[in-house]
Amino acid sequence: MKHSRTTSLLLNIAHAIDHLVLLIFATAVGAIAADFGLARWEDLMPFTAGAFVMFGLGSLPSGRLGDLWGRRAMMLIFFFGIGASTILVAFTQNPWQMAAALALMGAFASIYHPVGIPMLVQGADRPGKTIGINGLAGNLGIAVAAISTGVLMQFAGWRAAFVVPGLVSIACGFLFLKSAPRETAPPARRAARALDMPPQVRQRAFLVMTLTAITGSLIFNFTTNGNAELLKTRLPLLLEQPALLGTLLAVVYGIASLAQIVVGQMIDRLPMKGLLLGILAAQPLLFAAAALSDGWVFYTLMVLFMLFVFGAIPFTDALIVRFVDDGMRSRVTGMRLAISFGVSSFAVWLLGPFVKASGFTTLLLTMAGISLLSILFASLLPAQPAPAPVVAAAPSRA
């Protein structure tokens, strides 16, 4: 079933909200640490690890409930749960209260990827393009997180940076309640369609998508959670200008997000393996160059390495569309996310202590090494994955 434009728009906005709320803390961590009486931002960073642990582990029950209970109902829980928990974060008074509130927010955030994306692509004629647009929306949420947090923090305080997105999420929940039609049956109860490929090919593809998702999530979390402080060290003029810092980060993420549109369209036309390997091959070179640079040269390299980090994101969802029937996509996505985000949440916990002990240059070189592993894993992908069968359906008018 295809969705109305309003429902599809809200599903894409939900992706933006999902990434936005998870990155507010990383942009505001310096101000929050000072407010809580901590001398260094690195000492507060491990308290956000619970959000990313729950973001990963919660994907498994979220995906199962999405298939067995219904995706519309789960998305309503997402919108209202994100809104309430994000506002709760704004009322915390110490690191442990914040850790608990962020973990709750991470649990609600875990709903989107295994539920919202399969809901969006069901019945899509060009799933690569749909995934690319959705990826753009998600990463524009990262850009909005950078600029909105910087501006709100400078003019209204860090707590407002959490309250405003929470209210937006609740408002979107009411719009989604009105626009999204009730499902006739949950996905797991619909008739399954046999996918014309050997079981060993599907198993190999699932292994590759899981391994590359782990390495990709490690790099994604290291960069998006560390870029604000990293940019301050390479451009010291930003130390006392949070609004300018947020704007520069928003430009990075905004430009990088455009890669997802291009890559999504290419996925519908080109062999996936060669395309993925080409994008991954640029990452270690750019991370290594960034490790040896500073100033505006570094900023240019940051734009480039984030372009290729974001450009690799659509492949995992595209693989699931090609290799997994819609009736169990939420569960498969949830399983994959539970593994990859569960492992990569370690990156968020480790980020502060790692940088404190070794510095950002070592972190950038470490990411270059991780991206080399991604290339190795991607080389195991079946050479010509068959596209998923598409059944055209009339869009709903809700």
Half-sphere exposure of 199 (CA within 13 A, CB side): 0
Q: How far apart are CA 28 and CA 35, in angstroms?
A: 11
Six-digit token string for 321 = 């569309």
Q: Do residues 114 and 59 make contact, with C-beta atoms less than 8 angstroms apart?
A: yes
Q: How far apart are CA 349 and CA 44, in angstroms?
A: 10
pTM for the structure as a whole: 0.66
Domain boundaries, the chain: 5-181+197-378
SS3 (DSSP) at 240: coil
Q: How far apart are CA 281 and CA 376, in angstroms?
A: 10
Q: How far apart are CA 325 and CA 258, in angstroms?
A: 28
Q: Give just the sign of the alpha carbon dihedral 364, 253, 46, 207.
A: negative
Q: Among candidates 132, 121, 167, which has minimal Cα distance to 20? A: 167
Q: How far apart are CA 72 and CA 25, in angstroms?
A: 28
Q: Do residues 131 and 314 make contact, with C-beta atoms less than 8 angstroms apart?
A: yes
DSSP state of 196: S
Does the 5-181+197-378 domain belong in CATH 1.20.120.530? no
Half-sphere exposure of 318 (CA within 13 A, CB side): 34
Close Cβ partners of 200 (under 8 Å, ≥ 6 residues apart)? none
Angle of CA points 193, 196, 199, to nearest 5°: 100
Tracing tokens 């202590």 back to the chain, one arrives at 353
Q: How far apart are CA 107 and CA 88, in angstroms?
A: 14
Q: How far is CA 160 from CA 34, 96, 157, 221, 291, in A?
A: 16, 20, 6, 24, 34
Q: How far apart are CA 3 and CA 379, in angstroms?
A: 35
Q: Do residues 260 and 140 make contact, with C-beta atoms less than 8 angstroms apart?
A: no
Tracing tokens 């429902």 back to the chain, one arrives at 7
- Other Cβ atoms closer than 10 A to 93: 9
Q: Among candidates 7, 256, 280, which has minimal Cα distance to 130? A: 7
Q: Do residues 45 and 347 make contact, with C-beta atoms less than 8 angstroms apart?
A: no
Q: Would you give the distance in Å from CA 20 to the centre of its chain? A: 9
Q: Do residues 261 and 133 make contact, with C-beta atoms less than 8 angstroms apart?
A: yes
**pLDDT tens digit at each of 398 positions of the chain:** 556 778 888 989 999 999 888 888 877 887 888 888 887 777 787 777 778 788 878 887 887 787 777 788 889 999 999 999 999 999 998 989 988 999 999 999 989 988 888 888 776 667 677 887 888 888 788 778 877 887 888 788 889 989 999 999 999 999 999 988 776 655 555 544 545 556 676 677 778 878 888 888 888 888 877 888 888 888 888 777 777 887 888 888 888 888 888 887 787 777 778 888 999 999 999 999 999 998 899 999 999 999 999 888 878 777 776 766 655 666 666 676 677 766 766 776 777 778 888 888 998 999 999 999 999 998 888 765 444 444 444 443 33
